[in-house]
Amino acid sequence: MNSLRLDGKVAIVTGGGGGIGREIVRILAQRGATCLIADLVDRKALVSELELTGLSVESAVLDVTRSEDVNSYARAMKQRLGCISILVNCAGGGERIGFLETSDKGWFADINSNLTGTFFMMRAVLPAMLEQNDGAIVNVSSISGIIGGLPSKGNEGRSGPAYAASKGGIIALTKWAAREFGKHGIRVNAIAPGPVPAGADMSGYDYGVEDYPIPRFGTPQDMAEAVAYLASPAAAYITGECIKIAGGVGM
């Protein structure tokens, strides 16, 4: 038996239409999971693209910062599909802005989309996982949540303080839940990506990747492979960890 396979698993991927998120969806589905994309935008085009290759994928519009909507969605998926095996929290975003320039609105936007949304999704799916006595949660944090953001040699490119705080909070939340639910067969881990273009406009941002131990940008596939591993039976004895996937930065 291939311990990296995910046959029979149902995986929810928030932010599954973004650069990293869509690669996570692709790899989880390729390994046998039924993937549910939960995103602010209906990702019908992505679903059609992946279905043409024989993969099991569907999409729903969901704002992870709205707890009632998140709870309703999780209940509906559990009722219709019978289980929720994997949750990947990839939804979120952030401003590239200085500390003193960060507004109240900007602060709460980043905290809510990254940290609060992750909490709402975890709280919503955990009852199903507890009932099953099985589950894997992988949260997408950031190297910014560990070292406070990557400096840019070019234009202002460092992620803002709200983003760093929210991503650091995700790591703490991951560890808290791992301690609480490990005895129930539920593993909770995180990844901390370094700089990944992932479709974003990186012009003017010189992160000095040529000086990294692995001298290149990360790719969405780099991130997705780590997520798929942590979600798989191959990582059955791993919980409460945050794996830095940043080319050696922050070691």
Q: Which two tokens stand for residue 144?
A: 């910014």
CA distance 108 to 152: 24
121 residue type, one letter:
M
End-to-end CA distance of the chain: 34
**What is the set of active-site residues?**
163
CA distance 54 to 28: 13
CA distance 102 to 95: 9
C-alpha dihedral sign at 247, 115, 152, 21: positive
CA distance 109 to 213: 34
